[in-house]
Structure 1
Amino acid sequence: MAANDIKKISVSELRLGMYLVGFDGNWLSNPFWTSRFLLASADELRQARASGLAECWIDTSLGADVAPVAPARSTAGAAPVAKRRRAPPQAAGALSMEEELQNAARLCQTARASIFSMFSQARLGKIADTHFCSALVDDIVRSVERHPGALISLSRLKYEDDYTYMHSVAVCALMVALAKAMKLSDPDMREAGLSGLLHDIGKARIPLEILNKPSSLSDDEFATVKRHPEHGFEALRHGGVSDSVREACLHHHERMDGAGYPHRQAGKAISLMARMTAVCDVYDAITSDRPYKRGWDPADALSKMISWKGHFDPTVLSAFIEVVGIYPTGSLVRLKSEKLAVVVEQNKQSYTRPTVRAFYCIASTRAIPAELIDLSGTEEDCVVGSEDRDRLPTAVIEKLWAGELYRER
């Protein structure tokens, strides 16, 4: 970010698509919990303009600039010119996937730092401080509503030492998208997000040498880890969260057939939030790389989850598949045109026609220049099946859909 990218403007000049850095004035008048974010909804714009503050700062390298002022020119002898209409402001859902990935990358950084702090407090035996969580969930809701695939996919890019924290962000985003697909109310959608964000808080009580062990756990170590739902339930006793969120933390490892833990609940005895968390938790866990195993391809992961009879609520799992698609973002797929590609963005009208980035020609057995293809715009090509993810290093697959964001993470 160069210094000349930061520009001071009047609050009245703010428009959707600008990246707000801060307000010039009393910080108590700031209408937002944070001042560094992309203005992407009419409600955010209204709050900024109603703040009573006169000026603010924007970063033109991360968002839109003010419209340039046309130079004055003589009109003597000139033919009349029709007045140019100003382009309408960008709608909340009109951000491109690339723009939302940039926004999601910044959100991931903020969320990771906040969750790390909360886990650190809980590890010291302090009451889990969840005061920041509601605002964080609101930010995640806005991102998911604009482009569900951006934050959901980006939060899967985890370092070895931050798996627990970014897993919480990923499950939160998945829970928000799932609640939306299940047509839950806005308050319930936020409860779902909070459940995802806090579902593993009990792992703060698990020794780090077990939590970060770079190999498979022994039976005794696994027994220790299996106590984290109860630790989480207790940690949130005075955390200012609802019973629904605490129940999700306690029972997200239960199974519909009663073979889960810690209380071997079965069927509808397991709360809806817990049944939802179970699906989102497992999906992110099995698609993420760990020190001791490579993550499964997202499409393969869904296939496996469907085959585990008695594990998940079928209705919830069906809604979840609607969220991530048959070939989720990051899946390695084969096209009808005999190309290998990585799924970049979903097409909700046709799950076999997502936007992909093709990079290899199977027929000629050679790499081709990476090409972004919107399969919804062509009848000649489509996805015909998933491919073995082991054919390529994880880093190559992630760079193909995340681009520069992969190198910056």
Structure 2
Amino acid sequence: MIFPETLGRFSVYLRQGDEYVLYADSEERFTERHRRNLHDSGVKEVFVKSEQREHFERYVESHLGRVLGDEALPLAERAKVFLDTTTDLVKEVFEDRLPVIKNGHFARIRNVVEQSIRFFTKEKALAAMAPFISHDYKSYTHSVHVFVYSVAVLHSFGVEGEDLLQAGMGAMLHDLGKTRVPKDILAKRGALSRAEQEIMKNHPLWGVSQCASLPMSQLALNCVLFHHERMDGEGYPSRLAGEHIPFPVRVLAVCDAYDNLTAERPGQAALSPFDALQSMRSEKGAYDVEAFKRLVQVLSGAALI
């Protein structure tokens, strides 16, 4: 995962017996000659010092599209790189708990979304990610899962290009407002009190507020604001119903609910994919029927159910 004609700000080492030997210095541009020498020597593994790990991770993040498009790498390995890289970035954003998202963070998230969308429009890519999906709920892992599911389902409906990118941005940031929900509420085991529920219901509005100064499209902002609306008008914050809920948001809502149900949360055991879908089916009027059916088809095609 080191590419010719790139500079990574980390040194590359080779292992020779019990020793690690410097191969390329941190200030040295990695060239085609470096790559060819490794290939000709049969070297398949290189090493980076632990204190330079952050530089390596940012390097992979910057070149994520090249990693995901490298057919020489096993599909499962590429899926794992995506999940690790993206989860680390979203975790960084969520753990900052800032009143507004930094421009730098936003640019990095857009870059990751842009570089990975094409990969997750392939059915086999979703299947390859399945073994690495965490069922221990965290807001940042949940956001990444919902992004992947939403992109796959929307693409199956023919959504492409800028619309798919903006919906992907909205999916990745849909729960950003939860960074302003008190941690004791997020971690509470058992049912929330009425007052706590009202606080939790503010997170879509808080999320939009945190994105207000960013160059986000209306489509992306709709995903953040309306992902808890229901087809029957019983959702929040605006009690929109039916066709008044933008279609990409209806897809996001289905994917959001599915991932919530299949994750272990405080006071809630994870459901199996089959049981989660059964639970969603029983909520008459909550979800867009066509979006739900397509999620089932996408999950089935990827052998996730």
TM-score range, shorter chain: 0.7 to 0.9
Q: Where do 5+ consecutive residues of structure 1 fail to align?
A: 45-89, 332-409
Aligned residue among 134, 157, 160 for 2:134: 157
Show the 5 A alignment for 1:161-180.
163-180=138-155
TM-score (norm: length of structure 1): 0.57
Which residue in the other structure is 1:356 paired with?
none
Alpha carbons of structure 1 residues 36 and 125: separation in structure 2 relative to 1, 3 Å: closer
Question: 2 CA distance for matches of 1:236 and 1:164?
Answer: 17
Aligned residue among 251, 263, 285 for 1:276: 251
Q: Which has the larger radius of gyration?
A: 1
Q: Deviations over 1:79-109 (max 9, x none)?
A: xxxxxxxxxxx48xxx6xxx33332223222
Which letter maps to 1:254?
E
Q: Deviations over 1:9-59 (max 9, x none)?
A: 8527679xx99999xxxx9xxx98624786453xx7xxxxxxxxxxxxxxx
**Percent of aligned pairs with the same amino acid:** 28
* Deviation, structure 1 residue 185: 1.8
Greater helix content:
2
Q: Where do 5+ consecutive residues of structure 2 fail to align?
A: 1-11, 17-21, 25-29, 49-54
Question: 2 CA distance for matches of 1:7 and 1:39?
Answer: 21
Q: Deviations over 1:103-143 (max 9, x none)?
A: 2223222222211222234x232345411112211343244
Which letter maps to 2:130?
S
- Contact conserved, 2:263 with 2:269, CA < 8 A, in 1? yes
Question: 2 CA distance for matches of 1:294 and 1:280?
Answer: 18
Alpha carbons of structure 1 residues 36 and 301: separation in structure 2 relative to 1, 3 Å: closer
Question: 1 CA distance for matches of 2:92 and 2:239?
Answer: 32
Matched, 1:34 2:62: yes
Aligned residue among 243, 246, 256 for 2:218: 243
Matched, 1:255 2:234: no
Matched, 1:141 2:117: yes
Q: Deviations over 1:348-405 (max 9, x none)?
A: xxxxxxxxxxxxxxxxxxxxxxxxxxxxxxxxxxxxxxxxxxxxxxxxxxxxxxxxxx
Aligned residue among 254, 271, 289 for 1:314: 289
Aligned residue among 100, 104, 122 for 1:126: 100
- Contact conserved, 1:156 with 1:167, CA < 8 A, in 2? no
Which residue in the other structure is 1:223 paired with?
198
TM-score (norm: length of structure 2): 0.75
**Secondary structure at the residue paired with 1:262?**
coil
**Secondary structure at the residue paired with 2:145?**
helix
Show the 5 A alignment for 1:8-157.
10-11=31-32, 34-35=62-63, 39-41=67-69, 90=71, 99-121=74-96, 123-129=97-103, 130-146=106-122, 147-150=124-127, 153-154=130-131, 156-157=133-134
Which letter maps to 2:126?
G
Question: 1 CA distance for matches of 2:145 and 2:210?
Answer: 21
- Contact conserved, 1:215 with 1:292, CA < 8 A, in 2? yes
Matched, 1:302 2:272: no
Aligned residue among 168, 172, 183 for 1:208: 183
* Deviation, structure 1 residue 4: 3.5
Show the 5 A alignment for 1:332-347.
none
Matched, 1:4 2:29: no
Question: Could you say what the CA RMSD is over the residues aligned between the two structures, in angstroms?
Answer: 3.4
In the alignment of these two chains, the number of paired residues is 266
- Contact conserved, 1:168 with 1:200, CA < 8 A, in 2? yes
Which residue in the other structure is 1:289 paired with?
264
Question: 2 CA distance for matches of 1:276 and 1:294?
Answer: 24
Question: 1 CA distance for matches of 2:271 and 2:303?
Answer: 12
Greater strand content:
1
**Secondary structure at the residue paired with 1:293?**
coil
- Contact conserved, 1:171 with 1:196, CA < 8 A, in 2? yes
